[in-house]
Chains A and B, each alone.
Chain A
Amino acid sequence: MHLQKPKGEVNQLSSPAETTAVVADTVRDEMVAAIRTTLGTAVVDTLVKPGDDIWVRVTTESWCASIQALKVAHAFDYFCFLSAIDWMPSPYGRGEDDPSEPAPVRDTVIRPGYTGGDTRMQLLVRLVNSVTHLGINIKADVPNDSFTIDSICTVFAGANWHEREAHEMFGIGFTGHPDLRNMYLPMDFEGYPMRKDFPLLARMVKPWPGIVDVEPLPGGADDDVKDGASEEGTS
């Protein structure tokens, strides 16, 4: 869902200043207040972006129970997706290093996204109310030592494949999942490809040609904003 704007007043050349004025989103604010009442101490943090979306972070222990409560009490009955996010910055950057040079020093601080987080891995589920079409993003920390969290297969049968995928790609264990076989990779594959410390070997074995071929980037801060919008439009 997008920033609400009065109809017929869409700016042709919008700039950030024109779209930031957003009225308060009472529907989402009320929903978050109701969720806080239902889940109580299970809620760690919430965030509402008016006219956009809701983020709720729940505790690891209450993960399955919270999803169940949201499904039953607030009719979030549509399972959209489940996935994980590895918040550790990649030690390989974007794979554009020159192999002949020493590796550059990179930021290794783990910074979580919206609604915070204390661990490297976070689980993310999106549920939608099939009548009001209000969506909600639910996050939970995955413990750093065990990388294990409860499965929500019993609440949403559709989570089965999504949890298998997260298990295969991020190495997250799901207690209570019926069958955590690999979906894509062979069963004897080592490592978890979507973790940030898993190198993208295609970028390691030889230098990325893209970095050599590009024309020199236009420099200077005043060159940052292009005023060629009209010439693009008429070409």
Chain B
Amino acid sequence: MTILNDPVSAKLGNRQQLSYIASQAADARLNVELETEGMTLNIGPQHPATHGTLRIIARLDGEQVVWAEPSCGYMHRGYEKLTEVRTFPQVTSLINRIDWLGSFANEVPFILAAEKLMNVEAPPRAQWIRTILFELSRIANVSLFLGDLGVQLGAITPVFLAFRDREYVLNLIESATGGRFHPNFDRIGGLKDDLPAGWIDETKVVMKKLRNFCDEIETLLFGNEIFQSRTRGIGVIPRDVALQYGLSGANLRASGVDWDLRRDQTIPLAYDKVDFKVWTHPDGDSFARCWVRLQETREATKIVDQLLDGIPSGPVMAKVPKIIKVPEGEAWVSTENPLGEMGYYVVSRGDLGPFRVKIRSASFNNISITPWLLRGVYVPDIITILASLYFILGDIDR
């Protein structure tokens, strides 16, 4: 057979080879029936449907995907290597850029891991402000997702609403931290600064606006028949598959796993002081993932409102040495970031900088399911499935 001597097939591994042979066989069958040829479709790296530089190679049989795989690495910046030549306080400015839409949330688990190794805990006021800013970055991040979702399906309006309302949140983050996108505000032992005057009242007004935005999106998009028919029953991820691929965040909860790291672990943030609901959905399809994110955004605004009412007074910085040397040890801390579970495995050798940092980013695991998930779907559904999985390129490649 010519298939086995095929130069493309020879380069592939066993499993890919099997599906490749299957695709060839499917092509051969179709060629006989319809006289069509199999086709390899290349989506990206620069394509409006891929949120950045993700490239997807899909082998098609007619309009169905036989084999698809994302090709990463266009955004690889080698942060794990770079952290080894930085001091602990310098690392936060790097890891800000992993998930650039929710930057503040990236800093928190790393700082918590360093604090855990140093046996230091931030004062309560710092913990509360951290939690508020954490939720604000979730709102900024996910509201853009909600708007972007419409664009993937050809609806232009939601993205304008999303950019408008996200700007209110970014203004808040900017006025508190000084940075719109990359706050770099977290310090080992607390925060760089206290909140500015009038910030709390302003935030309450913005949270009302954001709840309105959620309602608007819900009626505009989620109630839309086209949206529903394009997402319901498409890209279904069962519970056990989601678990073994390590999916996290809304993607996992949309598959019916009731697990939220904000609620289910003891962590020095103020989540145990507030009352919030963890939303899950039993379906596991694209619609469920989008719907869970919408509910989470709404829930986040309520968390912020509750926290604003009870910020304790006091300092925002604990007593830490001026030159930070982290004692020898290993620590793992992960938090529920906008995209899912983000964690840092920090190995310290009692030096100024970390010995090794493993960055466990949510999108890397979330997108690793695509070869499994895209098999057999139709070409237009690739776009909605990828949109509903929601990844940030910097979070995949790091």
Contact = CB atoms under 8 A, between A and B. Distances in A.
Interface stretch (B141-149, B224-232, B296-304, B358-366): B358-366
Contacts of A113: 329-330, 347
A233 B312 CA distance: 12
A83 interface: yes
Interface string A199-234: 010010000100000000110000111110110111
A232 B315 contact: yes
A38 interface: no
A79 interface: yes
A219 to B, nearest CB: 10
Interface string B218-245: 0000000000000000000000110111
A235 B330 CA distance: 34
B72 A230 contact: no
A183 interface: yes
Interface in A130-183: 130, 133, 135, 137, 156-158, 160-162, 169, 177-183
A58 to B, nearest CB: 17
A137 B349 CA distance: 19
Interface stretch (B8-16, B39-47, B172-180, B198-206): B8-16
Contact of B316 (A77, A94, A179, A233): A233
Interface in A73-94: 77-81, 83, 85-86, 89-90, 94
Nearest to A135: B332
B326 to A, nearest CB: 12
Interface of B: 12-16, 72-73, 76, 78, 80-82, 84-85, 112, 116, 118-121, 123-125, 127, 190, 193-194, 240-241, 243-246, 257, 259, 264-268, 272, 314-323, 329-332, 334, 341, 343, 345, 347, 349, 352-353, 356, 358, 360, 364-365, 368-369, 372, 397
Interface of A: 1-4, 7, 10-16, 19-20, 51-53, 55, 77-81, 83, 85-86, 89-90, 94-96, 113-114, 124, 126, 130, 133, 135, 137, 156-158, 160-162, 169, 177-185, 193-194, 200, 203, 208, 217-218, 223-227, 229-230, 232-235
18 contacts: A3-B116, A4-B266, A12-B315, A14-B120, A16-B119, A53-B331, A55-B330, A81-B246, A81-B360, A94-B352, A137-B332, A217-B323, A218-B323, A223-B322, A224-B321, A224-B323, A229-B318, A229-B319
